[in-house]
Structure 1
């Protein structure tokens, strides 16, 4: 007995006409931005070996992966994100390409999301990866491109958060926590769960690193965050991170405009491969980030190719939903519908080809009477009915 033949799996949905139209428009708009900056498109398989997502720098929680086996019994997963497969491609097929490499992608990712969170398990993402440069200008290119993307997808109501994964990593190094403790602390900081975070850190001794980690989620705001952070914890590495991040903040403030840029030193992304600057972008009307990314200088070394990289991904589905709410979107009706009298079907084909060659959208009518064709045209908001018999007659 079939039980699930009329519904989609949890975390997925069907996309209908206007939804598809807006999504394609969004993709084309963003791809034009990427191509204008010299980025080339690639696509990775929807199926990858489980091992791709279990590297030292980029261990992906297996409970969030859709898993299966191939004909040889090897463990496969549906691609949960795009950066790690692209790292695999660059380290193998593009290893001899000249650097830097500028790549963009547009593909679906699949991962189990927490129940009752309203998130999709299948998401369409587009994004860019800039590989082979650790320069300040590479970070500038990446983040200003992110700003351009957010601006193109909004009426100006967007914001960007700026952080650095190095702060959390340095404090955790000082704390000397186990991998399990590290992941738990990371999660509690990400969710800004202050009580639970304090409870966990209280069990790890009374150290300056532990005290700083308790305050890390609250280090959010404008330029004053840098002074607060320097007073909370200081060593050579963190001082360097804060100095570089402050310069980036000041430079970006001139580009993005007042009130749109904030600093969040408690930003600790799920992807543990980030090593430096990280960003999250927001659009008005959506409660979570629609864009995220950052610098990951160690990930490719796990695939045998030690080069730095940075990038970001855009949640196309989220952006499209926002755009649909903010403007009227409708599928364009046909310009004309052609009715072919019996025996004149192929003549109708020729007439339709001529009209389509002029850029018009043309449908064939599948009715036996002109009255039914006219009713159909009226219902579909088609302005012209073309009757093809011995002559060609147009009826408005």
Structure 2
């Protein structure tokens, strides 16, 4: 007996009518922004080999991956992100391309999300990757493009967070922790779970590094964060990171002001391939980030091509939900419906094509009575009826 033929799997949904229209509208906006900055579109397969996501820089927990096998018994996954497959493409098929490379994508990612989080397992993402440069200007381009995206998808009610993965990585490099302990500490910092973080770090001795890690989740706010951070722990590399991030914060604040810009040194993404500046973008009406990314200078080396890179991804579904809530896009309706008298069906086809060439949206009325066509037009909010017989008559 069939049990699941009338529902969709957990973490997925059907998109209907207005939802599709809004998604396309958001995608078109982002396409325009990315193309205007010189980015070229790239599409990777929905299916990738499991090994692609088990490199030194990228290790997705197997329990979060949708897995299957091919005809040869090889383990495949539905791609859980787009950055790693793009790194594979650049390191192989685009290895001889001139640098820097500007690429963008519009495709779905799949990953198991905790059931109680209410997140989707199937997420439409658009994003950009800027590969082959580690310049400060590349980071500026990435952040300002993120601002353009947030502005284009809101009424100005957005905010941006800046961080740097290097601070956490430098502190952990000097802490004597196992990989499991390191991941646990990262998770507790990311979720700002102060009590549990303190308990874990208390077992590692009363070191200055442990003390700094305890304070890391609280290091968020405005420009004052940099002074607080410098007092917690100082090394040549961390001082350089903070100096560079402070400059970026000051420069970006000139673009959007300080009211919508935050520094968060406790922002340690679960994608371990980030090595430098991290960004997250938020829109009013959605509790989590709709945009995230940053610099990942080591990921391509895992595929044999050691070049720096930076990028970000946009959760198109989340942005679309916000646009719908704001009532920005109306439910579409046709401009006209055509009623063809018997024997004049092909004439109606010709009339419809002429109207469509003028840019009108035209439907056929599949009824044998004009009054039924009128009723249909009223229900669908169609303002014009075109009657086709010996003559062509338009009525409002």
Q: How many residues align?
A: 396
**Partner residue in 2 for 1:76:** 76
What is the deviation of 1:328?
4.6
Aligned-pair Cα RMSD in Å:
0.9
Say whether residues 1:324 and 2:338 are aligned partners. no
Aligned pairs for 1:41-56 (under 5 A) are 41-56=41-56
What is the deviation of 1:377?
1.1
What is the deviation of 1:67?
0.6
Say whether residues 1:283 and 2:283 are aligned partners. yes
**Partner residue in 1 for 2:269:** 269
- Gapped runs of 5+ residues in structure 1? none
Task: Say whether the 8 Å CA contact 2:162–2:263 is kept in structure 1.
Answer: yes
What is the deviation of 1:63?
1.2
**Partner residue in 2 for 1:135:** 135
Once residues 240 and 118 of structure 2 are traced to their aligned partners in structure 1, the CA distance between those partners, rounded to angstroms, is 39
Structure 2 SS opposite 1:331: coil
Q: Deviations over 1:160-195 (max 9, x none)?
A: 111000000000000031111111110111111111
**Partner residue in 2 for 1:114:** 114
**Partner residue in 1 for 2:250:** 250
**Structure 1 length as normaliser, TM-score?**
0.99
Moved over 3 A (4+): none
Once residues 47 and 115 of structure 1 are traced to their aligned partners in structure 2, the CA distance between those partners, rounded to angstroms, is 23
**Structure 2 length as normaliser, TM-score?**
0.99
What is the deviation of 1:7?
1.1
**Partner residue in 2 for 1:343:** 343
Aligned pairs for 1:31-70 (under 5 A) are 31-70=31-70
What is the deviation of 1:378?
1.2
Aligned pairs for 1:1-396 (under 5 A) are 1-396=1-396
Task: Say whether the 8 Å CA contact 2:338–2:352 is kept in structure 1.
Answer: yes
Shifted more, 243-252 versus 335-344: the winner is 335-344
Task: Say whether the 8 Å CA contact 2:323–2:329 is kept in structure 1.
Answer: no
Structure 2 SS opposite 1:286: coil
Once residues 148 and 392 of structure 2 are traced to their aligned partners in structure 1, the CA distance between those partners, rounded to angstroms, is 50
Distance 1:69 1:152, change over 3 A: same
- Gapped runs of 5+ residues in structure 2? none
Once residues 340 and 327 of structure 2 are traced to their aligned partners in structure 1, the CA distance between those partners, rounded to angstroms, is 38
